[in-house]
């Protein structure tokens, strides 16, 4: 029940899912890059997922993209990221022996594990897992006969997601309660490291938006199983000989509202913890205080509020009232302001710092680069007029993979490399870390940057085979190239995995209590902290978390009392 | 006054309950917003809520009163009164759930099936929103029964009122939630 143990459980489970989800993307990139090729060995490996010609079938292609999206967004970048670092860092950095409720915390992990097992089992059922996209729009999600994966596959998908929502809620409750109630003496809110602030806002977002998704799912379950017409209208499904459904007046757009009311906050649930860790790691490794601490908190707050007010930018082409649309355009573009503040502050923090380019720091810098690139394309998409052209094209794929997918993973890598010494008492290997960083960084841009051009040329997302269209023939070679790079980048992640597990047993031992020379409380615990984190009293805090390079001292831990002649800061 | 003293004022578990309540509010906010969106569609059939729901409203408000009094007796260490009032609250909670089921029956008798292919979303929403609220009440009833049994069987004396206060907060919350939902579905 120890919070550090639960953190590791979240991390390992998340990593398993990252491998599965990543492998899935390699498979569907095979299809996109080499639609004509015949990989007979795949038939032997994957059985019914591959047709006799040695190509992934259309059904399995859709299953792959659906489960890839679902598990990476929810299981890896939500549970794997927040679950790991909230559990690890909140008690250690606010100065608590454990979470407010270790019991709820453990339940949160078990619910996540149950969700994982159910989702995993859906991959192996006869009719295949759900295949209607990670957003699970009706009717594909509501009508069991719509596609092979819409039957049992979708039932299992919904059960897994419901369990996942419960897990997130239990976790979130606990994180908030711990941050507000369990801080050590002297740790006022404005002395907390930005990691904690970010995890705090993340938990608020989750606790207030996941229940709405649950509402949406409940209505969906009733449409699927109890003949209601919330989303299903009297559509006609000729191919499956279902004929006209007896339902009346259902409204599929209603589902989209409920889904995106979570869906948009969800993307910030993913990115905020990454932002928090990046802020912390950048300050530590630049040996400079974070620039604009209060502005960083303010912008986190602004992002949290705005995140609830922009969901309809995913629905500009659903027939949304154009006037309403223009309000959502305004609110969406407003997010650029706090985002820009954060970017400015990160750049100013490293500006003229004596930077230590550890792997963790490199991933932090990479994160900022990706966040800038992906944020700029967000501004394109946020214009409802431009979005008519760009919606559901590869431009959107490029946007969100850069700004959320890859950036979120970078935040996670940044956290893992930096706090690995605290988790396992050893260092990860640096050389492997550098190779991992550079290949992933360059590879990610090579994969996703060209997708902007494909999207601008109108290439739609979620198609099985583009080679049938004259207008997309120009991209045949490009798609091959993207697939090739994707495989290389995947291979490098295996190097990371090797490094991670190898270092647990064989990594260089940590010899000093505070290896990075950081100010925060987790580095005042023993090198391998036991249950309860501190031997004896929990230390008292006397200053904020960012006294680097102050009054000629390299760093001053939060536990050092403010000296008589010291220039006052916080 | 030191910072740590200041922080001890609200028990972390109490605080957790408050955040959980915010979360439940969002769930019902989602459903009632969906109701408003859906109502704008054609094929929406209006109908009156049966009068039974007024009785259930009365029942749950009464149960809030008994809950409040039982906490008061607990703090005054009048344990037999506490147990009696706690038991009464439990019974009222059960009565509320039964009345809800009767209400559902009346709606169906009035020609508005809640679920199934001949149902209309207007009735399905009532089924789901009231049903989900009922589940929350049922969860509360189970917690009440546990508290009740502990008060009888437990040989260890309990002096901390934190547990029962958290229970009270939750119970008043489901009461208030019901009043909101009832007003919403009656007059929206
Ligand atoms: C200035 C900031 C941003 C703006 C203005 C913006 C705007 C948009 C818009 C308008 C769309 C809808 C495109 C469409 O479907 O036609 C979109 C999609 C998306 N955005 Fe952003 N975005 C921003 C930042 C972010 C961030 C920081 C994240 C994640 C951390 C993110 C994640 C996503 C995702 C996941 C989707 C696509 C979901 C899907 O359809 O599958 N965005 N963005
Ligand atoms: Cu969005």
DSSP string, A417-484: HHHHHHHHSBPPPHHHHHHHHHHHHHHHHHHHHHHHHHHHTT-BSS-S-GGG-GGGGGGHHHHHHHHH
Contacts of B1 (CB under 8 A, 6+ apart): none
Tokens representing A465?
């085979």
pLDDT of B9 over the 70 cut? no
Total structural domains in chain A? Answer: 1
pLDDT at residue B153, as a whole number? 78
Protein residue with least CA distance to atom 33, ligand 1: A400
H or E element in which residue A237 lies: strand A236-237
Measure CA B7 to chain center: 30
Q: Looking at the domain assignment, is residue A535 inside a domain?
A: yes
Looking at the complex, report in whole angstroms how far the Cα of residue A232 sits from the nearest Cα belonging to chain B.
11
Q: Indicate the top mutation candidate among A314, A316, A370, A412 to test ligand 1's pocket, ranked by most ligand atoms within 8 A of CB.
A: A314
Question: What is the average pLDDT value for chain A, to the nearest integer?
Answer: 93
Task: Assess whether pLDDT exceeds 70 at residue A238.
Answer: no
Report the alpha-carbon distance of residue B75 to residue A380 in Å, rounded.
61
Partner residues linked to A550 by β-bridges = A553
CATH number of residue A347's parent domain: 1.20.210.10
Give the pLDDT confidence score for residue B3 in this predicted structure: 41
Contact between A230 and B24 using a beta-carbon 8 Å cutoff = no
Q: Would you say residue A323 lies in a domain?
A: yes
How does pLDDT run across A357-403, given as a tens digit for each residue? Answer: 999 999 999 999 999 999 999 999 999 999 999 999 999 999 999 99
B42:A249 CB<8 A: yes
Q: Which residues contact B54 (CB under 8 A, 6 or more apart)?
A: none
Over residues A470-486, mean pLDDT: 95
Q: What is the mean pLDDT of chain B?
A: 89
Q: Which CATH architecture has domain B3-187?
A: Up-down Bundle (1.20)
Res A43 pLDDT > 80: no
* CA A314 / ligand 1 centre spacing (Å): 8
Give the model confidence (pLDDT) of A116-125 as tens digits. 999 999 999 9
A and B: number of Cβ contacts within 8 A: 119
Q: Is residue A411 in a domain?
A: yes
CA of A376 to the centre of ligand 1 (A): 10
Tell me how far the alpha carbon of residue A380 lies from the centroid of ligand 1, in angstroms: 10
Helix axes A84-94, A407-424, angle to 10 degrees: 50
Q: Which two tokens stand for residue A331?
A: 């609110």
Q: Is the pLDDT of residue B123 over 50?
A: yes
Question: Strands A243-244, A236-237: parallel, antiparallel or unpaired by DSSP?
Answer: antiparallel
The interface predicted TM-score (ipTM) is 0.92
Q: Are A420 and A346 in contact (CB under 8 A)?
A: no
Q: Is residue A568 part of a domain?
A: no
pLDDT at A243: 58
Q: What percent of chain B has pLDDT over 70?
A: 93
Statement: residue A550 has pLDDT above 70: yes
Share of chain A above pLDDT 90, in %: 81
Q: Is A559 contained in some domain?
A: no
Q: Is residue A557 part of a domain?
A: no
Whether residues B15 and A177 touch (CB distance < 8 A) is answered with: yes
CB contact at 8 A, B96 and B171? no
Q: What is the dihedral of CA B34, B38, B44, B50, to 10 degrees?
A: 10
- Percent pLDDT > 90 in chain B is 68
User: Is A29 domain-assigned?
Assistant: yes
Separation between Cα atoms, residue B133 and residue B166, nearest integer Å: 18
Q: Can you give the pTM of this predicted structure?
A: 0.94
Distance, in angstroms, between A59 CA and closest chain B CA?
A: 29
Q: Is pLDDT at A93 greater than 60 in this prediction?
A: yes
Q: Which has more pLDDT, A511 or A247?
A: A511
Give B33-44 pLDDT, tens digit per residue.
999 988 887 678
pLDDT on residue B41: 77
Domain assignment of residue A558, yes or no: no
Range of the domain at A16: 3-552
Min CA distance, A385 vs chain B (Å)? 25
The span from the CA of B151 to the CA of B82, in Å, is 9
Residue B7 is predicted with a pLDDT of 45
| pLDDT value of position A564 | 78
């Amino acid at each position: 029940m120890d919070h550090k143990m639960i953190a590791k459980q979240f991390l390992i489970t998340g990593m398993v899912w990252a491998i599965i989800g990543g492998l899935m993307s390699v498979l569907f990139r095979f299809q996109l890059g080499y639609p004509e090729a015949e990989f007979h060995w795949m038939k032997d490996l994957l059985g019914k997922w591959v047709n006799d010609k040695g190509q992934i079938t259309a059904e399995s292609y859709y299953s792959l993209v659906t489960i890839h999206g679902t598990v990476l967004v929810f299981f890896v970048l939500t549970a794997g990221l927040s679950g790991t670092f909230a559990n690890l860092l909140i008690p250690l950095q606010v100065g608590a022996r454990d979470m407010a409720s270790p019991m709820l915390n453990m339940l949160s992990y078990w619910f996540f594990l149950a969700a994982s097992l159910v989702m995993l089992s859906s991959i192996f059922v006869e009719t295949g897992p759900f295949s209607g996209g990670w957003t699970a729009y009706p009717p594909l999600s509501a009508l069991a006969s719509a596609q092979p994966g819409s039957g049992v596959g979708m039932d299992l998908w919904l059960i897994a997601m419901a369990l996942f929502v419960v897990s997130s809620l239990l976790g979130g409750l606990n994180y908030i309660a711990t941050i507000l109630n369990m801080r050590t003496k002297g740790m006022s809110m404005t002395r907390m490291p930005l990691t904690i602030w970010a995890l705090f806002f993340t938990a608020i977002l989750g606790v207030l938006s996941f229940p709405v998704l649950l509402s949406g799912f409940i209505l969906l379950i009733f449409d699927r199983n109890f003949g209601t017409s919330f989303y299903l209208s009297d559509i006609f499904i000729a191919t499956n000989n279902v004929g006209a459904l007896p339902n009346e007046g259902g409204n599929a757009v209603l589902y989209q509202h409920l889904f995106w009311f979570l869906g948009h906050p969800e993307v910030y649930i993913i990115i905020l913890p990454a932002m928090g860790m990046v802020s912390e790691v950048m300050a530590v490794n630049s040996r400079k205080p974070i620039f604009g601490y209060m502005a960083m908190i303010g912008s986190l707050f602004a992002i949290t509020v705005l995140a609830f007010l922009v969901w309809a930018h995913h629905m500009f082409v659903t027939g949304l009232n154009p006037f309403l649309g223009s309000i959502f355009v305004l609110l969406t573009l407003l997010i650029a302001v706090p985002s820009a503040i954060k970017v400015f502050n990160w750049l100013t923090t490293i500006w003229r710092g004596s930077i230590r380019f550890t792997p963790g720091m490199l991933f932090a810098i990479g994160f900022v680069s990706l966040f800038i690139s992906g944020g700029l394309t967000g501004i394109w998409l946020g214009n409802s007029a431009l979005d008519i052209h760009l919606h559901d094209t590869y431009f959107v794929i490029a946007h969100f993979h850069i700004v959320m997918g890859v950036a979120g993973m970078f935040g996670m890598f940044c956290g893992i490399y930096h706090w690995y010494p605290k988790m396992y008492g050893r260092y990860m290997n640096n050389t492997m870390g550098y190779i991992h960083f550079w290949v992933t960084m360059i590879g990610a841009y090579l994969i996703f940057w060209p997708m902007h051009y494909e999207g601008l040329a109108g290439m739609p997302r979620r198609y099985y085979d583009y080679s049938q269209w004259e207008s997309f023939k120009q991209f045949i070679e490009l798609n091959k190239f993207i697939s090739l790079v994707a495989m290389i980048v995947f291979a490098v992640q295996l190097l990371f995995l090797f490094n991670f597990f190898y270092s647990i047993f064989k990594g260089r031992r940590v010899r000093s209590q505070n290896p990075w020379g950081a100010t925060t409380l987790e580095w005042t615990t023993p090198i391998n902290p036991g249950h309860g984190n501190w031997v004896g009293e929990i230390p008292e805090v006397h200053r904020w978390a960012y006294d680097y390079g102050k009054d000629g001292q390299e760093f001053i831990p939060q536990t050092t009392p403010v000296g008589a002649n010291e220039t006052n800061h916080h | 006054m030191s910072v740590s003293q200041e922080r001890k004022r609200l028990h972390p578990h109490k605080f957790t309950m408050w955040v959980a309540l915010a979360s439940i509010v969002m769930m019902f906010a989602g459903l009632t917003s969906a109701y408003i969106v859906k109502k704008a569609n054609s094929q929406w059939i209006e109908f009156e809520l049966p009068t039974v729901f007024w009785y259930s409203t009365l029942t749950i408000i009464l149960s809030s009163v008994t809950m409040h009094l039982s906490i008061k007796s607990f703090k005054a260490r009048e344990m037999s009164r506490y147990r009696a009032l706690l038991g009464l609250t439990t019974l009222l909670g059960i009565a509320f759930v039964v009345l809800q089921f009767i209400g559902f029956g009346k709606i169906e008798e009035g020609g508005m099936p809640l679920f199934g292919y001949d149902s209309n979303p207007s009735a399905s929403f009532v089924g789901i929103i009231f049903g989900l609220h009922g589940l929350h009440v049922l969860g509360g009833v189970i917690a009440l029964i546990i508290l009740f049994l502990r008060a009888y069987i437990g040989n260890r004396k309990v002096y901390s009122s934190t547990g029962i206060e958290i229970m009270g907060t939750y119970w008043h919350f489901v009461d208030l939630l019901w009043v909101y939902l009832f007003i919403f579905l009656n007059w929206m």
